[in-house]
């Protein structure tokens, strides 16, 4: 007995073929025809998604899941351009979107502050996302002098967590202490705590001295450490009851101590009075002897002549990193105790 298809089965099979070979391609074409794909559409979509004004010159939709934006410029709240890229690749996969910028991006520290503060929480609240910047040059200009820091690549990933969301930022830069062009990975974890709408930050530089000017827009007190100062180590910051709690474990390098020395000594050194500060402590800082965790905390200042002095216990920090008053007091005390008037 031959196994023949019934009329109903044949009709069902023909309908299935029709849906697969006719309706599905038509649906894809209609989707691509009506899906927002003009530069103006994308400018509005970026503004609604991450809160940043952009200018997009052209758009190419490679597939329903991949789009390329060309000649893209981001503007700050005053209409000034802060970042531009020749191409931005956008890819969508189930549960995650990905943004890739392959050409070099130049970003000032003012622009870095604006972008991070504007899109940080929106990006973290938008679900799982990945951002890859192949080549980034960070810049700052003060007193007519421009400084640059090249980091490549920079990767940002965001994922939902039980507390809210986490963004992991990793970047690679040359380790100045290495004998070769070996690159070290600097990592920053930013947790958004949904219950309090606050951010918890944990940074590990892997002994690479990151320039302090990168965060001058957030911590202007660091300018007092000098234009060449940097930080190598790790720190943790968590807001708690209207103040910052956390710890710091690392060194401030190339700290300018000229203001703490006699003018004659500064002139004799050619103006090069650099030192280091080693910090291992928690904050907010307490007077010496208060708090169970104070016994292991210490701060040491390394003077230009190679000697070290403990930073005096009665110094005051405004917020987290301002140690300028402690530097001056420590150097003056060390100088008064020294037989050499350095």
- Please write down the long-range contacts of 31-34, taking CB distance under 8 Å and 24 or more positions apart: 31/64, 32/61, 32/64
CB distance 205 to 215 below 8 Å: no
pLDDT of residue 139: 92
Instruction: Tell me what percent of the residues of the chain surpass a pLDDT of 70.
Output: 69
Summarised one tens digit per residue, pLDDT across range 241-267 is: 666 677 888 999 998 887 777 677 667
Summarised one tens digit per residue, pLDDT across range 198-208 is: 888 999 998 88
Half-sphere exposure of 224 (CA within 13 A, CB side): 15
pLDDT of residue 20: 52
13 pLDDT tier (thresholds 50, 70, 90):
low
Contacts of 15 (CB under 8 A, 6+ apart): none
Q: What is the arithmetic mean of pLDDT over 138-163?
A: 89
- For residue 201, which of 169, 231, 242, 229 has the smallest C-alpha distance? 169
Name which residue leads in pLDDT, 121 or 148: 148
pLDDT of residue 19: 55
Q: Is the pLDDT of residue 226 over 80?
A: yes
Q: What is the arithmetic mean of pLDDT over 113-133?
A: 80
Report how far apart, in Å, the C-alpha atoms of 94 and of each of 34, 65, 133, 338 are.
Answer: 21, 10, 22, 68
Summarised one tens digit per residue, pLDDT across range 275-301 is: 898 888 776 654 444 444 445 677 788
Summarised one tens digit per residue, pLDDT across range 24-60 is: 555 554 455 445 578 998 898 888 878 889 999 999 9
Residue 245: count of CB within 10 angstroms of its CB: 14
Q: What is the arithmetic mean of pLDDT over 304-331?
A: 62
């Amino acid at each position: 007995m031959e196994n023949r298809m019934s009329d109903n089965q044949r009709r069902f099979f023909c309908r299935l073929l029709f849906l697969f070979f006719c309706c599905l391609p038509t649906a894809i074409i209609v989707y691509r025809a009506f899906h927002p794909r003009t530069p103006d559409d994308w400018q509005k979509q970026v503004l609604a998604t991450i809160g940043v004004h952009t200018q997009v010159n052209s758009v190419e939709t490679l597939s329903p899941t991949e789009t390329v934006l060309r000649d893209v410029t981001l503007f700050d709240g005053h209409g000034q351009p802060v970042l531009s890229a020749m191409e931005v690749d956008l890819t969508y996969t189930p549960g995650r979107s990905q943004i890739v910028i392959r050409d070099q991006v130049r970003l000032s520290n003012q622009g870095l502050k604006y972008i991070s503060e504007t899109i940080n929480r929106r990006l973290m609240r938008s679900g799982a996302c990945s951002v890859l910047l192949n080549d980034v040059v960070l810049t700052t200009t003060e007193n007519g002098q421009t400084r640059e820091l090249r980091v490549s690549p920079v990767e940002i990933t965001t994922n939902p967590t039980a507390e809210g969301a986490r963004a992991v930022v990793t970047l690679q830069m040359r380790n100045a202490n290495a004998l070769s062009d070996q690159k070290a990975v600097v990592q920053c974890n930013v947790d958004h705590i949904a219950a309090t709408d606050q951010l918890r930050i944990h940074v590990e530089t892997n002994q690479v001295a990151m320039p302090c000017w990168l965060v001058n827009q957030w911590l202007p007190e660091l300018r007092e450490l000098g234009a060449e100062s940097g930080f190598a180590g790790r720190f943790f910051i968590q807001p708690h009851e209207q103040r910052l709690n956390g710890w710091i474990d690392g060194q401030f390098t190339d700290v300018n101590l000229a203001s703490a020395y006699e003018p004659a000594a500064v002139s004799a050194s050619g103006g090069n009075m650099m030192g280091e500060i080693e910090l291992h402590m928690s904050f907010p800082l307490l007077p010496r002897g208060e708090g169970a965790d104070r016994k292991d905390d210490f701060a040491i200042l390394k003077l230009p002549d190679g000697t070290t002095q403990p930073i005096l216990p009665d110094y005051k920090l405004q917020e987290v990193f301002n140690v300028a008053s402690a530097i001056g007091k420590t150097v003056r005390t060390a100088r008064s105790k020294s037989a050499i008037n350095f």
